[in-house]
Amino acid sequence: MAKFQPVKGMRDFWPGEMVRRQFVLDIMRNVAEKWGFLPMDTPALESFELLAAKGGGGEEIKKEIYYFKDQGQRELGLRFDLTVPTARVIASKLDLPLPFKRYQTGKVWRYDNPQALRWREFTQMDFDIFGSDKPESDAEIVSLACCCFDALGFEDFTIKLNNRKIIEGYIESVGIRDISEVFRSIDKLDKIGEEGVQKELLGKLKDKEKIKKILDFIKIKGRPEEVLKQSKQVLTNKIAKDGLDNLEKIFNKIKVFGFDKSVTIDFSLVRGLNYYTGSVFEVAISGGKVSLGGGGRYDKMIEQFGGKPTPAVGIGLGFERIVEIMIQNNMIEVEAPIKVFVVSVSESTKDKTIEVCQRLRREGIAADFDVSGKNFSAQLKSANSKSIPWVIIVGEQEVKENKIKLKDMVCGEEKTASIEELVRFLKK
């Protein structure tokens, strides 16, 4: 074993892996830009004051992130998501034309226990709209996520949809004041199950009857039309009714976008982060068992970070899980990143080899050649080990005749032609 290994929960990626990751990323970027979202980026490091700010992670976040002090004794942390740093930027940009749509991809860090499809360093892809509190913006974020998963080739994904005000109002109607504690327990439903949530709530609330009502209520899920109709007859609390009304408006707009068949309503969905203020959503596959991303509305964060009141809504997609699942299901088809390897037969043809390689590159054809002095057979072996589909052989006779030889590394066929003819052939 090598002396040094990656830090626990972090990974190295070889070129073959990076090509597949880039394939997925390019599809998602392409969709975002077609929908009018603009790219941006933020630093990996942020002040701990920002990361712990109300609406961010809170002081307790220190145990869940990479926290440290720099040489100037400033408290810092690696970003745990892309939303909080972006909100800082929006808060400082007083003249930003609104609404503003942004997408961002980047690494984030969380001090979780590494397990299947979960790492301490991972990549997220975020889409956000700042400056609109209309249901159209929530619906566009959900629909954009659907469009991404369609483009990636997923056929069985579902977007779970809810509004935190619905469960907040219902909890209030059964006589419970500490709503945030209930939210934290409900958010663990997928991890610890109904029995675990019930046990945790009993320790907090000491009231079996109220807990039963809450657990029965959050079991409501299914097709939006049915759930909305059923809920209107059950909910009497004003906060809950307002949340349900907003949820219905969002769903009706998703219908207009054409993605309503991919949406279900799930009252157990609350999203654990404290900064969500209304709608919440989560992308899931395998019958809802595997989450591939989530988000919601966070209308208070910009103001809490010192900016003017600015409504916001967004979603973060779990890039790592998406890539892993696509690989497992053979959903990624990529060509070799290097199309041609130019082989020099002898020392006297090396300069011509470089000239040919440069010509191919100028023509937009990805090409490479040996820079280490390998002999002819070793160069061919190197091309084969990199799965490069074509080899151009530059020999002394070919140089004299102003011809070069092209070899198909899959079937072994060869053809000799001018560089111009081979360029046209390779560009087909």
pLDDT tens-digit map of 33-82: 999 999 999 999 999 999 988 655 667 788 899 999 999 999 999 999 99
Q: Is the pLDDT of residue 314 over 90?
A: yes
Query: What pLDDT is attached to residue 373?
Result: 93
Report which secondary-structure segment, H or E, holds 297.
strand 290-297
Query: Tens digits of per-residue pLDDT, 179-194?
Result: 777 877 887 887 788 7
If we measure between CA atoms, which residue out of 253, 280, 323 comes closest to residue 21? 323
User: What 3-state class would DSSP assign to 373?
Assistant: coil
Strand order in the sheet with 367-369: 367-369, 340-344, 390-394, 404-408, 414-417
- List, in sequence order, every beta strand (DSSP E) within 183-230: 221-222
Residue 161 to residue 268: CA distance in whole angstroms:
10
What letter does residue 64 receive in the DSSP assignment?
T
Rounded Cα–Cα distance for residues 263 and 98 (Å):
28
**pLDDT at position 185, please?**
81
pLDDT at 405 exceeding the cut of 80: yes
378-398: per-residue pLDDT in tens?
999 999 998 999 999 999 988
Same CATH fold assignment for domains 15-328 and 340-426: no
Identify the pLDDT of residue 193: 81
Q: Where are the domains of the chain?
A: 15-328, 340-426
- CA count, 13 A, side-chain hemisphere, 70: 10
Enumerate residues 6+ apart whose C-beta is below 8 A from 310.
90, 91, 98, 130, 131, 299, 302, 303
91 C-beta neighbours (distance < 10 Å), count: 19
Structure tokens at 189: 């439903």
Quick one: pLDDT at residue 211? 83
pTM: 0.89
Dihedral (Cα; 209, 211, 213, 219), 10-degree rounding: -150
**Whole-angstrom Cα distance, residue 296 to residue 269?**
11
Superfamily of domain 340-426, CATH level 4:
Anticodon-binding domain (3.40.50.800)
- The CA distance from 149 to 78, in Å, is 29
Q: What is the pLDDT of residue 37?
A: 98
State how far the Cα of 102 lies from the Cα of 45, in Å rounded to an integer. Answer: 20
- 109-118, 256-265, 300-309 — which is least confidently predicted? 109-118
Give the CATH architecture of domain 15-328. Answer: 2-Layer Sandwich (3.30)
| Higher pLDDT among residues 156 and 134, named by residue | 134
Task: Check if the beta carbon of residue 163 is closer than 8 Å to that of residue 247.
Answer: yes
CA atoms within 13 A on the CB side of 82: 28
pLDDT, average across residues 274-296: 90
Question: Tell me, what's the pLDDT at 234?
Answer: 85
Mean pLDDT, the chain, integer: 91
CA atoms within 13 A on the CB side of 158: 16
Q: Are 137 and 99 in contact (CB under 8 A)?
A: yes
Q: What phi and psi values does residue 250 have, to the nearest 5 degrees?
A: -60, -45
Separation between Cα atoms, residue 319 and residue 25, nearest integer Å: 8
- Smallest CA-to-CA distance from 140 within 158, 128, 152 is with 128
* Distance in angstroms (rounded) separating the CA atoms of residues 427 and 410: 18
Please name the helix (run of DSSP H) or strand (run of DSSP E) that holds residue 257, with its range, or none: helix 238-257
Q: What is the pLDDT of residue 398?
A: 83
252: exposed, middle or buried (C-beta count within 10 Å: 0-12, 13-18, 19+)? middle
pLDDT at 86: 96
Q: Between 224-234 and 238-257, two packed helices, what is the crossing angle to 10 degrees?
A: 160
Best CA proximity match to 341, nearest among 380, 305, 301: 380
Q: What pLDDT sits at residue 170?
A: 87
Quick check: 317 and 125 in contact, CB under 8 A? yes
Classify residue 223 by its DSSP letter.
Answer: -
344 pLDDT exceeds 90?
yes
- Which residue type is seen at 3? K
